[in-house]
Amino acid sequence: MDLSIWKTARGATFSFSRSTRILAITDKAGGRDATRSLMTTFQRRIAEWWSQFLTRATLWTPQWFPKMTIFNSPQERAMAFPHMQQPSFLLASLKSDSINKPFAQRCQDLVKVIEDFPAKELHAIFPWLVESIFGTLDGILVGWNLRCLQGRVNPVEYSIAMEFLDPGGPMMKLVYKLQAEDYKFDFPVSYLPGPVKASIQERVLPDSPLYHNKVQFPPTGGLSLNLALNPFEYYMFFFALSLITQKPLPGALHIRTSDCAYFILVDRYLSWFLPTEGSVLPPLSSSPGGPSPSPAPRTPAMPFASYGLHHTSLLKRHISHQTSVNADPASHEIWRSETLLQVFVEMWLHHYSLEMYQKMQSPHAKESFTPTEEHVLVVRLLLKHLHAFSNSLKPEQVSPSAHSHATSPLEEFKRAAIPRFVQQKLYLFLQHCFGHWPLDASFRAVLEMWLSYLQPWRYAPEKQAQSSDGQARCVSERWAPFVQENLLLYTKLFVGFLSRALRTDLVSPKNALMVFRVAKVFAQPNLAEMIQKGEQLFLEPELVIPHRQHRLFTAPTFTGSFLSSWPPAVTDTSFKVKSHVYSLEGQDCKYTPMFGPEVRTLVLRLAQLITQAKQTAKSISDQCGESTAGRPFLSWLGFYSSDTNSSYPANDLDEMGQDSVRKTDEYLEKALEYLCQMFRLNEAQLTQLTLALGTTQDENGKKQLPDCIVGEDGLILTPLGRYQIINGLRKFDIEYQGDSELQPIRSYEIASLVRLLFRLSSTINHRFAGQMAALCSRADFLGSFCRYHLMEPGLTSRHLLSPVEQGRSVGRVRGPRLSLRFLGSYRTLLSLLLAFFVASLFCIGPLPCALLLVLGYFLYAMAMTLLTERGKLHQL
């Protein structure tokens, strides 16, 4: 129990809170005024004495206070002592309950607290409650761990948390309750995304209106900058940042993101605040029949400095008089929708500015932020919903003539949401992912996010007409403006994907699937023509391009509502495309046409590698079948040593078998067909280029060496040779070239026996080194016989060595020595046991059998010695 309550015989009431160490005394004779005066004058001394007494006491029991009354919930304690309602008391009580009570009981108490307490008391607990749910910004405390909470694993906790955090649930009621009183909460600037933090620290206001009129400068001598946020903004900041700041637990690696509470809450918030049907629901009243919360103060009409423009001092802007409320009441309808979208975009996408992106092109640049696969999946959910939200406009509202003052704020917001708030930050985010994501199958999440953004027609309410021959649906001309105004996201990112695909193993089914997905999307009928039309509009000569004119589309002046200054539609399509490109890449950008000769060359190289990968997959499948069929019987007992120097490197095909080969072949075949359709490649070109890469086998049926040139230090791989190695088309024969006695113990060897035989052979070699050297130096048959058994053959005479290994082999001259390691092999011992077993069948004892084996080996060794010496004479 955190709070102890008891009464004295005279009617005085004492209460003591262990967590806060607060003692309160109420005397009936003095009444309420006496209590207040006592608390202000005498209570401190009594509380100090009582705290010391309870701290030092080792044992005390309730029997001392027979009339003690116990309260179990924060509401009962607070209602019993209204004079004790200090802000810290309720907070301390809830903190104590968060440790001692189960999750379900804590949530029930929180619901009652939110319903019963006024906003003045709830204001003190709100920051703590938000942190206890979403975790701290430094990631130390995980809170409720919503990213790992799943309904099928923890159904009770999941249902309680989802009900509590629902857009219409108790937590949002608390937010609206505080919103009505216009409370502000400090949020540290140091936890904002990198470009935003750097801009504010340089006293330059970021281009997003989300931060306007919110920066609070520290007092004299202070170092930290804060944002003054209203309750809704404060809640959404923590909710969005918890996706980034909270590190996943070790056991969360195998959790499906789409099943987690956080992912589902994002979907619910998007559906609630960005509705595809109807309007945004009004805020829930904090009490039945009570007034609705007042809307948040709107952004005042004031210019600001953005990236690429002159830097205006924030200090002057903060100190000067600023209007806090917009006079336009219609814009209040969607302020929560605007805030939600901007918070999500800023926290999830705005980690790279244009200047930072240009610096990241340097190979020596360090990554400032690395998104996770879960992060990318949540962003994809946002993009899909934004397409559905924007496409919910009626056809008559989409036309430029419909853009007038007669339209509602929600319709204006639907039209401007993607181009105004999302496009630039998403482009920089995708550029970073394409350039820095690992070359593995996890890139599939980034790929699908990109493809989802490129296909808004998939999320339109009307369905596209299916073609009569059952082929892919034709992209309607209605989407031509979207393709043209997002030209770089189609063309430049496609080139970025080509460079990634040329460096991946296309034999892997997962990589082949990614190539197939991209080729299928871009091969949709009429899409390539739209992209070509957009490129033609951009490349059209223009006499005068006003300096920074594209800023009209990306950074309008914000007067009042975020959308009230959205510029009227520009009828010059060419100017719109140019503005889009210059706003994302800068005025001095060098554009590479997607259907130009440079990109066509890359597509031809990809087509070559696809053809080669198909042949390689078939070869791997054939080799796996042959090795399985020809494997000896002893391999099933674990005595067969796998060939570590096989012709092909290991990949997904080794684990998935023939079904994987079939899928890979299907993906690559369709991808090649789509690429030929997009770029008008013919079969003759593909056949000629495939033959030029030299994928045919030599007369021995073995793969040739990778393509190399001879340099001063030996063989040097050409770019073609690197592609051949990456795709498993060719490889060098790699064998162990160190001391054979010191190579790692293999799976077909007995470890303890190998170590014992090594010590024995080392002792013999050390003791008889001189005698063995003398025998091997003889020029007769005995010397040849000893050299055959005691000398290792020269490595340089058997294999090609790298320049580094050639230098090492010059000084590596080993003398004659005896090796007994072969006796530690399972195969050798099993062969000896089989030989003795067969001899026993013919009534031959162990000793005669051993003599016969020794005699047989000597005859074999003599024959091999003669053949070896004859071979050396032929080489001379």
The average pLDDT across 35-43 equals 39
Looking at 79-83, 248-252, 717-721, which range is the least confident one? 79-83
- In terms of DSSP H, where are the helices of 422-561? 423-436, 443-454, 480-485, 487-501, 509-522, 527-539, 551-554
Range in 263-277, 366-380, 421-435 the model is least confident about = 366-380
- For the stretch 236-261, pLDDT in tens is 999 999 999 887 666 555 678 889 99
Provide the Cα torsion 247, 248, 249, 251; round to 10°: -160
| Interval 549-593: pLDDT, tens | 433 333 333 334 444 444 444 447 888 888 888 888 888 888 899
pLDDT score, position 658: 67
pLDDT for 302:
33
Identify which has the larger pLDDT, 785 or 157. 157
469 or 683: which carries more pLDDT confidence? 683
Residue type, 620: I
Token pair recorded at residue 739: 């001391």
The CA distance from 745 to 735, in Å, is: 15
Strands 708-711 and 226-229: unpaired
The chain-wide mean pLDDT, for the chain, equals 75
Number of helices followed by number of strands (H, E) in the chain: 36, 8
* Burial 591-628, CB ≥16 within 10 A → b, else e: eebbbeeebeebbbbbbbbbbbbbbbbebbbeebeeee
3-state secondary structure of 215: strand
Cut 0.75: pTM above it = no
What is the DSSP track for 662-706?
Answer: HHHHHHHHHHHHHHHHHHT--HHHHHHHHHHTT-S--TTSPPPPP
Tell me the mean pLDDT in the region 317-328: 38
Name the most confidently modeled range: 264-268, 318-322, 507-511: 264-268
Per-residue pLDDT band at 683 (split at 50, 70, 90):
confident
Interatomic CA distance for residues 507 and 75, integer angstroms: 65
Find out whether 225 and 217 touch, Cβ atoms under 8 Å.
yes
pLDDT tier for residue 31 given thresholds of 50, 70 and 90:
very low
pLDDT confidence bin for 285, thresholds 50/70/90:
low
CA distance 788 to 862: 9
What is the model's pLDDT at position 542?
63
Q: Which two tokens stand for residue 245?
A: 């700041």
When pLDDT is averaged across residues 13-33 and rounded to a whole number, the result is 44
Strand partners, 24: 15
What type of residue sits at position 856? Answer: G
- Per-residue pLDDT of 189-226, as tens digits, reads 999 998 999 888 888 888 888 998 898 877 655 567 89
**pLDDT in the model for residue 82:** 42
pLDDT in tens, 621-645: 666 655 554 444 444 444 444 444 4
Alpha-carbon distances of 679 from 143, 192, 249, 524, 538, rounded to whole Å: 52, 44, 46, 13, 20
Average pLDDT over residues 662-668: 89
pLDDT band at 299 (very low <50, low <70, confident <90, very high): very low
Looking at per-residue confidence, does 247 or 599 come out higher?
599
Q: Which phi and psi angles does 299 have, rounded to 5°?
A: -75, 130
Rg (CA), the chain: 38
| pLDDT on residue 286 | 47
- Whether the CB-CB separation of 742 and 814 falls below 8 Å is answered with no
Q: What is the pLDDT of residue 324?
A: 42
Q: Grade residue 608 by pLDDT with cuts at 50, 70 and 90.
A: confident
The tens digit of pLDDT for each residue in 333-353 reads 689 999 999 999 999 999 988
- The answer, yes or no, to whether residue 695 has pLDDT greater than 60, is no
pLDDT the model gives residue 61: 35
7 has a pLDDT exceeding 80 = no
Angle between the N-to-C axes of helices 103-116 and 155-165, in degrees from 0 to 180, rounded to the nearest 10: 20
| Residue of 15 and 127 predicted with greater confidence | 127
**pLDDT confidence band for 30 (50 / 70 / 90):** very low
Please say if the pLDDT value at position 267 is more than 90. Answer: yes
Helices 373-390/335-348 angle, 10° precision: 150
SS3 sequence, 711-761?
Answer: ECCEEEECHHHHHHHHCCCCCCCCCCCCCCCCCCCCCCECHHHHHHHHHHH
Over pLDDT 90: what percentage of the chain? 34
Share of the chain above pLDDT 70, in %: 64
Please give the average per-residue pLDDT across 740-769, as a whole number. 88
Rounded to the nearest angstrom, the gap between the alpha carbon of residue 241 and the centroid of all alpha carbons in its chain is 15
Most confident option among 69-78, 281-290, 596-605: 596-605
* Cα–Cα nearest to 489, from 425, 547, 549, 444: 425
pLDDT on residue 65 = 35
DSSP states along 232-300: HHHHHHHHHHHHHHSPPPGGGTT--GGGBHHHHHHHHHHHHHS-SSS-PPPPPPSSTTPPPPPPPPPBP
User: Could you give the CA distance from residue 544 to residue 262 in angstroms, rounded to a whole number?
Assistant: 50
243 in Cβ contact with 348 (< 8 Å): yes
Q: Residue 396's pLDDT is what?
A: 58
Q: What is the pLDDT of residue 310?
A: 35
* pLDDT value of position 63: 36
Give the dihedral sign, CA 28/33/35/37. negative
pLDDT at 395: 63
- Please report the pLDDT score of residue 873 as a whole number: 54
Dihedral angle computed from the Cα positions of residues 528, 529, 535 and 540, in that order, rounded to the nearest 10 degrees: 170
User: By the 8 A CB rule, do 295 and 330 touch?
Assistant: no
DSSP string over 137-148: TTSS--TT-TTT
Q: pLDDT tens, 533-547?
A: 999 999 887 644 444
The whole-number pLDDT of residue 770 equals 87
* Average pLDDT estimate for 81-88: 46
Average pLDDT over residues 768-775: 87
CA–CA separation, 623 and 648 (whole Å) = 9
* pLDDT higher than threshold 80 for residue 29: no
How far apart are alpha carbons 610 and 723 in whole angstroms? 12
The lowest-confidence range among 207-221, 377-391, 406-420 is: 207-221
Cα–Cα distance measured from residue 59 to residue 167, given in angstroms and rounded to the nearest whole number: 48
Do strands 22-26 and 185-188 pair parallel, antiparallel, or not at all (unpaired)?
Answer: unpaired
Residue 394: per-residue pLDDT:
72
C-alpha span between 872 and 854 (Å, rounded): 27
